[in-house]
Structure 1
Amino acid sequence: MPRNRTVDEADELLARLGSLTVRARELAELQRSRVELAVALQRGMLPADLPTAERLRLAARYVPAYDGLDVGGDWYDAFFLPDGRVGLSIGDVQGHNIEAAAFMGQVRVGLRALASVTSEPGELLARTNDLLVSLDTELFATCTFMRFDPVSGEVESARAGHIPCVWATGDGRSGITEDEGGPPLGIQEGTVYPTAHYRLTTGGVLVLVTDGVVEGPSLNIDEGLGHVVRLAGIAAVAGMGADALAAAVIKVSSLVGHEDDAAVLVVGHDGAEEGA
């Protein structure tokens, strides 16, 4: 074989390898940009700050999935209602992509907007559900919405297909709420969502989570919630701050065995005013 032919073939091979390398770098950069955009979109839809009020202690944690574009629609939110009480929500949109993250934003904004009309949790979820059904999308969302009175410690709560919340009291009791709940938002128009009533006593906490915190291939939901119950019970008895408890609970997500979004919202109460 002539020497110049061998050299030409080698040069051609090197050129092809160089072209493939450039293309691979371009694709990697595009993927990185898409992931950053998706995560920024999701983070940008979460509240920048949580409300502050006497006797109210709030803290939240959120960890996104970083497996390619495996970005979902987990969210948490907290805001003052027109009557001075606090609206609290946490939820999870079905799916893991940019569309799910965008739909999450619609749900969160819808809840806030409709809460100015009615903040009764069951009615609010019903109206939000009808709104989402009217959008004619295949996506749906699970959600818990609570209306909390920082003065009295009274809590009203409604669930739309979402994981029940965990509670603990300063005297050492803890467990999982057993409210009835209803189906996820965005599936069927005219759905009714029952409202449950609780009261947070001095030192009491409520812990709201998405399924990425407590459920996965390596941990079933009962085991996951059991971890959260134990953490909440210890925190309430020890007087641990809401922020420290939220940080401890989000670590449970490392036990579930997959890269899923995870969100935690902790609600604590320092007790009602004398005579309340």
Structure 2
Amino acid sequence: MTEEPEETTPGEPADVPYLSLFNLPLSSDLDRLGEQMHDLARAQRTFQGLLGAVVSISSELELPTVLRRIVRTAMDLVGARYGAMGVLDDSGEQLAEFVPLGLTSQELTGLAGVELPRGRGLLGHLIRHPQPLRVDRIAAHPDSAGFPPGHPPMRSLLGVAISVRGRIYGNLYLSDRKDGKPFDRHDEGVILALAGTAGVAIENARLYDQVRNSSERFQRLLLPELLDLRPFESGAVYRPARTPGQLGGDWYDAVKLSDTSCIAVIGDVVGHDLEAAAAMSQTRNMLRALTFEGHTPPSAALTQLDRIMDMTGGQLLTTACVARLEPADRGWTLRWSSAGHPPPLVVAPDGAAHYLEAEPGLPLRVDTAQPRPDHSTSLPPGSTVILYTDGLIERHDRSLADGMRALAALARHHAREPVDQLCRSLADHHPSDGHDDMAALILRTPGP
């Protein structure tokens, strides 16, 4: 027999559970749910912050900038008031460099004269034990060595080692969350994730330095050391472009002749590669051979060089300026010829500066049939002649004329300096944007 279904009240649904306040979630459940939502939101913000950190840190190539960017990013990710990067020395036992951030100007003043940390106390603990370190009360830790006089008080610490190619490069230190809470496991996980990115960014920056230094060293090996040019005071400077691994075509040369005159040359082969560097070296050597005899006018030397380059099949455009300083009755005579090169800059003994504006001529490898003019001017004793390449004055956001005016003003400002120092001043404070290599050759005639 089958059972008859139970009767229900008309309008009342069958099998519907009875709703009661007793069935609602308890407050503790709501609290846990709120904490989970808070943790989820925090994790999402952290993930977005890490993505931004990867892009930001990886975009830098200069090592000092990379280190500061790592520290600043770590501080932002966990809300730390203070941060620092300690770079280990070659022995890996103490700090060779310390990069602190977050200190106010007043706190920096209080630390004036205090030696940077070398790796004692908790910093030394992290060096000896490169595992993540979280300390709620720095003063209570058995390895704490205290702070030097003038050091701002710090309560909590989070330290993480940074490895580069499997070797500990340094340690990242964070102190005092801005909300007053101690660092937690979430903070530790975030900084550990950042440390992996930091290691890659540091290695990229180190490779950048190696490539740049190798290219610069190769370039300098192609350039001559200035010979003894007395009685002239002489100096030269070369600076590579900012782009890593770029070889340049800038060169200079100077030779003193037997009649007390001096030949000075500046030039620039267009290009930033091995071919440009090789062409520069060949051109410099040919031009030295053409001018060494001394009786050849500057224009004739450039004309012969242009014909040789045309016969040998060189394809790179080249500019150059050949100048000859020779004694005269009351001073010196400067004779020069230019192959599309910027004009020489002359600084008088009283500090006044002016350019030797004249027909610049065509660059080499353009038209060997065109004549090249010679120019001459008289110089009083104690005059300074500055030959330079356009990398010293060129900016993409302004004209060459503006750069030339800025260079002349810079030369006037440093006119009293010895020639070696004047070279460094022009290279250190140049008005260009640094996107091209630059060279300068300076000769100063003897005084009265």
**TM-score class normalised by the smaller sequence:** 0.7 to 0.9
Moved more, 188-197 or 105-114: 188-197
Amino acid in structure 1 at the alignment position of 2:247: V
> Which residue of the partner structure matches residue 256 of structure 2?
80
CA distance in 2, matches of 1:188, 1:242: 36
- Distance in 2 (CA, whole Å) between partners of 1:28 and 1:137 is 36
Preserved contact between residue 242 and residue 434 of structure 2 (Cα < 8 Å): no
Q: CA deviation at 1:213?
A: 0.5
What's the counterpart of residue 19 of structure 1? Answer: none
Asked if 1:230 corresponds to 2:409, the answer is yes
Structure 1 residue corresponding to 2:282, chosen from 102, 106, 118 = 106
Correspondence 1:180 to 2:359? yes
| 1:205-252 superposed Cα distances (whole Å, 9 cap, x missing partner) | 11111111001224431122112212333444xx32111221111124
Counterparts in 2 of 1:170 and 1:187: CA distance versus 1, 3 Å: same
The separation in 2 between residues aligned to 1:33 and 1:173, in whole angstroms, is 42
The one-letter code of the counterpart of 2:273 is N
1:70 CA displacement:
2.2
Task: Assess if the C-alpha contact under 8 Å between 2:255 and 2:263 holds in 1.
Answer: yes
Q: 2:371 aligns with which of 184, 192, 195?
A: 192
The aligned residue for residue 391 of structure 2 is 212
User: Is residue 115 of structure 1 aligned with residue 291 of structure 2?
Assistant: yes
| Contact 2:387-2:442 within 8 A present in 1 as well | yes
Structure 1, residues 24-52: CA drift from partner, whole Å, max 9, x if none? xxx99998876555433321121123433
Separation in 2, partners of 1:130, 1:36: 35
* Inter-partner Cα distance in structure 1 for 2:228 and 2:298: 19
Provide the secondary structure at the position in 2 that maps to 1:189.
Answer: coil
Aligned mate of 1:44, from 201, 214, 221: 221
Q: Give the total of aligned pairs.
A: 246
Higher mean alpha-carbon deviation, 66-75 vs 85-94, is at: 66-75
Alignment of 1:142-153 (within 5 A): 142-149=319-326, 152-153=331-332
Q: Report the AA paired with residue 184 of structure 1.
A: P
Q: 1:15 is matched with which residue? A: none
Give the 3 Å change call, closer, same or farther, for CA 35–229 of structure 1 in structure 2. closer
**TM-score in terms of structure 2 length:** 0.50
| 1:66 CA drift (Å) | 4.4
Segment of structure 1 superposing worse, 119-128 or 179-188? 179-188
In structure 2, relative to structure 1, the CA distance for the partners of 1:231 and 1:36 (3 Å cut) is closer
Contact 1:78 1:89 (8 Å CA) reproduced: yes
Q: 1:82 to 1:270 in 2, by over 3 A?
A: closer
Length-normalised TM-score, structure 1: 0.79
Structure 1 CA distance for aligned equivalents of residues 408 and 280 of structure 2: 27
Which segments of 5 or more consecutive residues in structure 1 lack a partner in the other structure? 1-26
Larger radius of gyration: 2
Mapped partners of 1:247, 1:29: distance in 2: 26
Amino acid across the alignment from 1:176: Y
Percent identity over paired residues? 30
Equivalence for 1:62: 238
After superposition, the Cα gap between the structure-2 partners of 1:257 and 1:66, relative to the gap in structure 1 and judged at 3 Å, is closer
Ranked by relative contact order (alpha carbons within 8 Å, sequence separation 6 or more), the top structure is 1
Distance in 1 (CA, whole Å) between partners of 2:384 and 2:301 is: 23
Return the letter of the residue paired with 2:361: G
Letter of the 1:163 counterpart = P
